[in-house]
Amino acid sequence: MSWRFPYYEVGKRVDWVGIERDFKWFRDMKYVPQDAIWHAEGDVQIHTKLVVVSLLNLPEFNLLGEQDRHILFMSALMHDIAKSITTTSEERDGRLCIVAPRHSQIGERMARNVLYKDLDVPFEMREEICALVRYHGAPLWGLNDDGYQRKLITISLRCRTDLLAMLAKADVLGRECQDKPDLLEKIEYFELGCQMYDCWGKPKEFKSDLARYTYLNGQMDYDGFVPYDDKKFEVHMLSGIAGSGKDYYISENLPKLPVVSLDGIRREFGIKPEAKKANGKVFQVAKERCKEHMRLRENFVFNATNITKNMRGKWVTLFETYGGKVIIHYIEAPYAKLINQNKNRGYMVPEKIIEKMINKLEVPTYGEACNVSFNIQ
């Protein structure tokens, strides 16, 4: 499915007036300071515009298809989206510096929120843009960074590394700094590293899903190793915002398996979704019911929102401790459909909670479980 950003047309001038008029997150970049050592060109909005212009002038960018150009355009436009809320100052080497800690990680979530709710970008394009925002500084890492090979391979499973290199090059060209030649050289090393590890412009291939998961989690250093599958049973973990259609997915795809459902437990005990103080009881009951299935080596479904990596990780650890193979099924509905489905379900979740979930959402990645499937409506 294709998508076009309406303020940019190939071969025409960017509609900066329209972008600033219609997007608060872009207006918020104005007057956000940057350290003159790394960004003598000015504030974040000035830098962003220069990055976009630099990108549009790259010969390799103009060889791309139209969809890839829109993906990169949006990535450049949003790569520093979180600097408006993360910029601060701290002392480094005896000098007070302007920094924006974790702006790429936070920027990924902010970009996802905008692309999902406001622009209705198709899932694969959206997640490519989000990953480019998340890793836009990765090509500037040094070759001597710990786990460099694993980092490059991990990135390749989330976004195209050739597009990432273009974004990084535009990011460097769109700034005024003394070390620009050194930064551009690092991008060349990034390309060489990706070519060496067979992940330049494509995702790294593995012999099996388990081999991929084992490698990404650092259990094996050789990316060609094929581990023995000694898992005793399967746990099908659902992940998705409330109202996305998880119950329907289970009925259609996993109808014969027993289900442990957090929402079901809440209804059983008369606990409302917004009653956070009761979550401890709900989780404890769910753990005990999961353990009953695991002791019997039974395949089962674990149905909960599981929208953050941290929350999923806690359950995956429990399931794997008992010898289970975890398969994450991510479910997503378009924003308008999500809101409508939630209103029409038997147990409606307050809309303010839905919005909080969207803001916190971290789409599962292949490093979180033996397999991850994406089921997009």
| pLDDT tens, residue by residue, 184-206 | 999 999 999 999 999 999 999 99
112, 116, 122, 108: which is closest to 4 by C-alpha?
122
pLDDT attached to residue 1: 65
Those residues with Cβ within 8 angstroms of residue 105's Cβ, 6 or more apart along the chain or in another chain:
134
217 vs 187: CA distance, rounded Å: 26
What mean pLDDT is predicted for residues 197-216? 96
Which residue reads 């070519």 in tokens?
Answer: 195
Question: Can you spell out the DSSP letters for 188-218?
Answer: HHHHHHHHHTT-SSSPPP-SSHHHHHHHHTT
Q: Which DSSP category does 67 fall into?
A: H
Percent of the chain with pLDDT over 90: 87
* pLDDT for residue 84 is more than 70: yes
Instruction: Read off the tokens for 220.
Output: 């094996």
345 vs 91: CA distance, rounded Å: 52
Do residues 149 and 197 lie in contact, with contact meaning Cβ atoms separated by under 8 Å?
A: yes
pLDDT attached to residue 20: 97
What mean pLDDT is predicted for residues 282-293? 97
Do residues 5 and 74 lie in contact, with contact meaning Cβ atoms separated by under 8 Å?
A: yes
Residue 141: Cβ within 10 Å count: 16
182 vs 96: CA distance, rounded Å: 24
Those residues with Cβ within 8 angstroms of residue 339's Cβ, 6 or more apart along the chain or in another chain:
243, 351, 354
Rounded CA Rg of the chain: 22
236 vs 252: CA distance, rounded Å: 14
Do residues 175 and 50 lie in contact, with contact meaning Cβ atoms separated by under 8 Å?
A: yes
39, 163, 361, 170: which is closest to 29 by C-alpha?
39
pLDDT attached to residue 271: 85
309 vs 237: CA distance, rounded Å: 13
4 vs 16: CA distance, rounded Å: 16
* pLDDT for residue 290 is more than 90: yes
What is the per-residue pLDDT across 122-169, written as a single tens digit (0 to 9) for each? Answer: 999 999 999 999 999 999 987 667 789 999 999 999 999 999 999 999
Domains in the chain: ranges and CATH: 16-196 (1.10.3210), 233-376 (3.40.50.300)
pLDDT attached to residue 151: 94
Percent of the chain with pLDDT over 70: 99
pLDDT attached to residue 348: 85
State whether residue 324 is helix, strand or coil.
strand
What is the per-residue pLDDT across 230-284, written as a single tens digit (0 to 9) for each? Answer: 899 999 999 999 999 999 999 999 999 999 999 999 999 998 877 778 889 999 9
Do residues 77 and 55 lie in contact, with contact meaning Cβ atoms separated by under 8 Å?
A: no
Strand order across the beta sheet in which 259-261 lies: 259-261, 300-303, 233-239, 324-332, 371-376
What is the per-residue pLDDT across 31-56, written as a single tens digit (0 to 9) for each? Answer: 999 999 999 999 999 999 999 999 99
What is the per-residue pLDDT across 1-22, written as a single tens digit (0 to 9) for each? Answer: 689 999 999 888 999 999 999 9
pLDDT attached to residue 278: 81
Residue 331: Cβ within 10 Å count: 21
- Please give the mean pLDDT across all residues of the chain: 95
Those residues with Cβ within 8 angstroms of residue 25's Cβ, 6 or more apart along the chain or in another chain:
78, 81, 84, 110, 114
